Structure 1
Amino acid sequence: MKTGVLCIHGFTGGPYEVQPIADYLENNTDWKIVVPTLPGHGETLELKKFRAENWMMEAELALRKLQKEVDKVIVIGFSMGGLIAIYLAKRYKIEKLVLLSAAAKYIYPTQILQDIREIAKEAMVGKLEANELFKRYKYKWEKTPINATFEFIRLVRMIEPYYGQIIIPVCLVQGKKDGIVPYATAQFLFNQIGSEKKELIYSEMGKHHICYSEDCNDWFFKVLLFLKEDEVEIITNN
């Protein structure tokens, strides 16, 4: 049976946010990996004319296309993409879900302040323009219209009633130093999701962009074990 994996990036982001885990799975399996770009997203942000429904529909179209090419589909969603993954799991036959820094709750001021302190330190020694965090967030702050932020919040609220209706196996991964999504969100989602088979993995070093955490290879491996667990059971039983 051929397996396909749909990876969905987050709000104001792009495929780069999930590319490390997509590459890891591509290098360690024979699965077909698909990483679409949601409307208005990518390296250049043009969010003003798009709504939550546009983002969900793009993911839905990518899923439908993938389903025609494979026998079973796994969906991996990062941040807002995690919520879109839940939406897809409610509407389509999906084998398993992986939710990375899923944005069921958002904005964790303590860690954001810590990140700002790091930026300020580098500014004092003339290194601000070299700080990747500063460059990335500066661009996002400048290019994210307020209506797009409201659409993101609306999407979060739309998906919330679905949590308890998800019954397929789910793996959640959350960084403990996440400055956008409080790390307690993962436990909240874990408790809310209706699945009997679910796993929660914490990254001690992980910030919001969890796929770039210093310990990402450790949890990549754990996620792969979770996704291949049924195959291992079949081999063991035989």
Structure 2
Amino acid sequence: MKKIGCLLIHGFGGSVYEVSPLAEYLEDKGCRVICPTLKGHTGRKKDLRGITYHDWLDSAEIALKELMQSHEQIIIIGFSMGGLIGINLASKYKVNELITINTPIYYWDFKRIYLNIVRDLQNKEYGNIRRYVKSSGNTTLSSLLHFKLLLTKTKPMIGNINCPVFVTQALDDDTVRKQSAYYIHDRAESKRKKLRFYDHGGHLILRSPSASKLMEDIWECIKGGQRK
């Protein structure tokens, strides 16, 4: 099996921390993995000012071109908004597979957010509350606008995807609703496509106890594609 090049793209307002467990896992399997930091995603709110979704696309595209120079087998893996970026790139370049993880078409499950806050208060753990506060403090109104512009631009492009697709989604994700996974899976024109849900894992599924199962499924999907 030829050495595989994987482009792994993090989410909106996040960092490579969100996806680094998968990067390490795939590197251990012999893949070369590039995880670009999307422009403005330094963890400092001020660095997102003046940044557009075009800058995020450019950040990922530069990394993809680097991989394509040295690898014939290219896998794009996008977490959350990174999946939207992956869809854009997979509709523009010939790649071997596109994998999306908790990628938003329909976002914010307010009922689950409420239940998470109640659970935090009952258990006096506050993990979800801290995450919500941190998330709101890491973004700007302009970056939120450009996230929505990217989503609007990307939705009609899903029908242009004809490479193999693996769509994954945590059912207890409070940021992305499960209908998003159905939307992406059903509209992709790929002859080989797969959809898998995970009962637990939340939005940051790669930092959850479900990460090992998700990563195993991703690797099996990649291996299966190489045998075709």
Establish whether TM, by shorter chain, passes 0.5. yes
Q: Check whether the contact 1:77–1:99 (CA below 8 A) recurs between aligned residues.
A: yes
* Aligned residue runs from structure 1 range 197-236, under 5 A: 197-232=192-227
Q: CA deviation at 1:231?
A: 3.7
Corresponding residue of 1:151 = 146
Instruction: Give the C-alpha shift of residue 232 in structure 1.
Output: 4.2
Render the CA deviation track for 1:122-141: whole Å, top value 9, x for unaligned.
5xx5x54xx3x333332221
1:91-138 CA-partner distances (Å, limit 9, x unpaired)? 11111011000112211111111222133335xx5x54xx3x333332
Distance of aligned partners of 1:37 and 1:116 in 2 relative to their CA distance in 1, 3 Å threshold: same
What are the ranges of 5 or more consecutive residues in structure 1 without an aligned counterpart?
234-238
1:118 paired residue number: 119
Shift of 1:143: 3.0
Cα RMSD (Å) of the superposition? 1.5
Deviations 1:122-173 (A, max 9, x none): 5xx5x54xx3x33333222123111111110000000111111101000011
Checking the alignment, whether the CA contact within 8 Å between 2:53 and 2:146 is kept in structure 1 is yes
Alignment of 1:63-78 (within 5 A): 63-78=64-79
* Residue 203 of structure 1: how far off its partner (Å): 0.8
In the alignment, the residues of structure 2 paired with residue 212 and residue 183 of structure 1 have an alpha-carbon distance, to the nearest angstrom, of 19
CA–CA distance in structure 1, aligned partners of residues 95 and 12 of structure 2: 22
In structure 2, C-alpha distance between the alignment counterparts of 1:121 and 1:42, rounded to whole Å: 33
Aligned to 1:57: 58
Aligned to 2:91: 90
Structure 1 residue identity aligned to 2:9? I
- 1:22 is displaced (CA, Å) by 1.2
Unaligned runs of 5+ in 2: none
Q: Is the 8 A contact 2:13 2:43 kept in 1?
A: no
Residues 6, 35 of structure 1: 8 Å contact kept: yes
Q: How far, CA to CA, are the matches of 1:72 and 1:86 in structure 2?
A: 17
How far, CA to CA, are the matches of 1:175 and 1:79 in structure 2?
11
* Residue-pair matches, total: 226
Are the counterparts in 2 of residues 24 and 220 from structure 1 also a CA contact under 8 Å?
yes
Report what 1:31 is aligned to: 31
How many percent identity over aligned positions?
31
